[in-house]
Structure formats: structure tokens, C-alpha cells
Amino acid sequence: MQVRAIVDPACMTTSYKQKPPNGEYDVIVIGSGIGGLAAAAALAKHADMRVLVLERHWTAGGLTQSFSRPGYEWDVGVHYVGEVGGDGPLRKPFEQLTEGRLAWAPLPDIYDSVHIGDRVFDLPSGRKRFATSLSEKFPSERRAIERFVELIEDCRRASAAFFTAQALPPKLGAKVGGPLRDAFSAYAAKTTAEVVWSLTSDPVLRAVLTAHFGNYATPPRESSFAVHAGVVGNFIDGAWFPIGGAGAIARAFEPTIEAAGGAIYVSAEVEQVLAPDGVARGVRMIDGRELRAPLVISDAGVSTTFNRLLPNPTPPKLGPSHAHACLYLGFAASDEELGLRGTNMWMYPDENHDENCARFYEDPDARIPFVYASFPSAKDPSFRDRHPGHATVDLLTVARWEWFERWADR
């Protein structure tokens, strides 16, 4: 059986250097990551706005993009996505904004396996099965595991109330938003370690319950439990991968944006937001060209937006996030020949996540604190048709930006 991506894999974006945009736009979006694309598609589809998306890279999609070499293709940031199957809460927004052009393939029932030294802990889909599977490995810790799942769900419900409050008009939000924000704020103020350590004293169970910190590169004693709960809860009912590879996501959004007269431009670097009276009125490109629109949305990240794009930089209090390093492997053999499946592997040398990360950050020659192995070719059923007889693997770990800063401008 052949399974193909719904969207033609050919790039449909326009190069700014070859054909700069002209005409009037209702909105300018800086950056084409998933946030920028979703905002652009929503405004195009539901407000009939003409949206111009400006991406400095030569490929649209941000961390949803993929890249290829003859016979191979790798994803750079989308390794698996939760809540897009069945009646998952993310399924309808994706269907709405891509108008059904994006299809998803489920990962195996065991979507993650956590390796702590020589011990392996499988994480199956479903809250009850997640708890049961771990309870079989830690029979005396059943209540702690069940309580962990309960807290994940409580935090995620609280996050829904929090973001509802954030979406209210300012005056209404000031009056009634406080109680909606309180529960989530309390979870956000606690570290992942504080919450998990309060549930169990078993060091290996602690390591398993916090193993997903690798998704956001911040170890348990530094990370917010609200972030950890969001990640664990996103996958706890199973995971999926876009058919056609991660790059299919951006390609699926583009027709929605174009249907309202908008466009996505690549190799289009914004130098500054134009705000002569304190209100954004457009952008100045790196070549000096000025593009005007009554609404400007930045999807370039907090640091870039406040430190580089605004006319009067106001550095945010947040520091830079931790980074990842990734090794991309390609094999001239099929997944079946190599025995590769779609289950992700989280491999840790031992249960000391925080100590191992701290040691590695100080000395990059120290033992790597973890390796995450992803198998994009095995996750995407269309890969074998597009690249027969080949397979791909991603290996990730944490890193520090300073190690690579010398090559920033190359």
C-alpha cells in the first residue's frame, strides 16, 4: 500500500531576493514558525486578511521544516506531536487552518522508551496504561505514579483557564482573570523536581518521571513543572507524525494564506519594526525597503523581537534558553532491514539528570547527559515511497550556544 502526503512536496514559497512583495497587506508576520503560520492562516481564513509572512531563512516553517539530501530526509524540530488524533484538542485547529491538507500517522503504541542505565521503561499510550506500565516496574510506588498523572491533568486543566484569561479583553481580564490564572501560576512557580520529589524518594522513578525534560533541554531542578506537565500531558494519550515529513506542515498552511491574497516570502530578513509613534506600522527590510501594514506580528522569538527588531530595544528579563545539538544519520537500507520502529528512545547513563547536565555544560568533553533517538523514516509511512531503500535517524542531546557562537555569521 502506498501512503503519500496530501500536499505536493514542491516548495511554494517566494524568494524575496528574486521577487520582492508589492501591494498592500493587512498584516505582516515576522517569522514562519508554527506560531507565525497559525496566526497568518487564522487571520486569512477567519478575518479574510491579506497576510505577508517574512522568513529570513531560505526555507519556511521554523522548527517544523525538514531538509534533505539525495535519498534522505530529516526533520529538525518536529519529532512527534500529541493530541492530533481522534478528538484530540489540536486536531480541529490543524484541520481548520490547513483545510484538511495535513495528515498524521500514529507512532507505535509505545511511543517512548526511557533507558536509565541498563533498565528500560516503556511508556504506552493512555493515562491508565501509562500508570499501570510504570507501576509494574515500581509496585511499591503505584500511588506516587497515579498522583503524578493526576497532577499532570490538573496542571493542564489549569493552563486552559490561564490562557482563557490571557485572551480576555484587558479590562475584563483585569477584573476576572486573577482566579483563572491562580492555579496555573502556582504550578508554574514550582520546579519539576519540587513536584516529583514530593511524590517519591525512589531516584530511578524520579528519573523516569522527569525524563521528558530532554524535550525542552532544562533539567528538573531548573524547569517549571507547568512546562513539564504540558509536554508529558501532550503525549500521554499517544503521539503522531506528519505524513510527508515535518516540512508538510508549512506546505499545508500556505494555500490558506494565499487564498486571501497573502504570501510567504523566504530569504526575507527584517531589520526593524517601524513604529514612529509607538505603534507598529510596518517593517524595514535588511536591504532598506520598507513594507507597510496596520498590524505587525512577530514570531521571531522574545529575545530577537525585543533586542533586535524594536526601534527602542527593551531587553526582556528572560535569559536565553538551553540549546540542543543534533546528529543526522542516513542509512542505505530500509527501516525493515535495520529493524527500526517509530518508538523514540530516551537514553540516560543514570538517574542523576541535573548533575549530569551541569557537568556537561561546564565541560563538553564530559559524559553526555542523555541521547534522544528519533526515527523519522520509520514514523512517516510515505518515506519508503519517496526514498525507497533508505532510512534516517536523529540523535539529540543538550548543548550550550557559546560552544558554537564563533560560527554564528558563517
Site of grid cell 491579506: 50
Q: What angle do CA 175, 178, 180 make, to 5 degrees?
A: 115
3-state secondary structure of 141: helix
Question: 14, 282 in Cβ contact below 8 A?
Answer: no
Q: What pLDDT shows up at residue 17?
A: 87
Question: 64, 247 in Cβ contact below 8 A?
Answer: yes
Type of residue numbered 179: P
CA distance 89 to 69: 35
**Residue 143 burial (CB count, 10 A):** 11
Residue 200 cell numbers, joined:
517519591
Question: 215, 223 in Cβ contact below 8 A?
Answer: no
Type of residue numbered 4: R
CA distance 249 to 155: 28
3-state secondary structure of 216: coil
Please check the confidence at residue 410 and state whether its pLDDT lies above 90.
no
Q: What is the pTM of this model?
A: 0.91
Q: Which residue has the higher pLDDT, 404 or 207?
A: 207
Please check the confidence at residue 359 and state whether its pLDDT lies above 70.
yes
The secondary structure of residue 71, as a DSSP letter, is T
Output phi, psi for 102, to 5 deg.
-115, 125
144 closest CA partner among 213, 186, 195, 212:
195
Q: 221-244: per-residue pLDDT in tens?
A: 999 999 999 999 999 999 999 999
Q: Read off the pLDDT band of 12 (50, 70, 90).
A: low
Please check the confidence at residue 219 and state whether its pLDDT lies above 90.
yes
Average pLDDT over the chain reads 93
Distance linking the first and last C-alpha atoms of the chain = 44
Residue 381 cell numbers, joined:
509511512
Q: What angle do CA 370, 375, 379 make, to 5 degrees?
A: 135
Q: What pLDDT shows up at residue 52?
A: 98
370 closest CA partner among 130, 138, 114:
114
| CATH numbers and ranges of domains, the chain | 14-103+245-309 (3.50.50.60), 128-236 (no CATH), 322-407 (no CATH)
3-state secondary structure of 186: helix
Q: Which residues, in sequence order, are CB contacts of 361 under 8 Å at separation 6+? A: 398, 400
Residue 58 cell numbers, joined:
531560505
54 closest CA partner among 40, 64, 74:
40
How much is the average pLDDT of 8-24? 76
Helix (H) / strand (E) element for 147: namely helix 142-167
Q: What pLDDT shows up at residue 242?
A: 97
227 closest CA partner among 207, 209, 212, 206:
212
Q: Read off the pLDDT band of 348 (50, 70, 90).
A: very high
Q: Read off the pLDDT band of 23 (50, 70, 90).
A: confident
Type of residue numbered 115: H
CA distance 404 to 156: 36
112 closest CA partner among 125, 93, 97, 126:
125
Q: 56-107: per-residue pLDDT in tens?
A: 999 999 999 999 999 999 999 999 999 999 889 999 999 999 999 999 999 9
Q: Which residue has the higher pLDDT, 104 or 314?
A: 104
- Percent of the chain surpassing pLDDT 90: 84
In a 10 Å sphere around its CB, with 0-12 CB exposed, 13-18 middle and 19+ buried, how is residue 24 labelled?
Answer: exposed
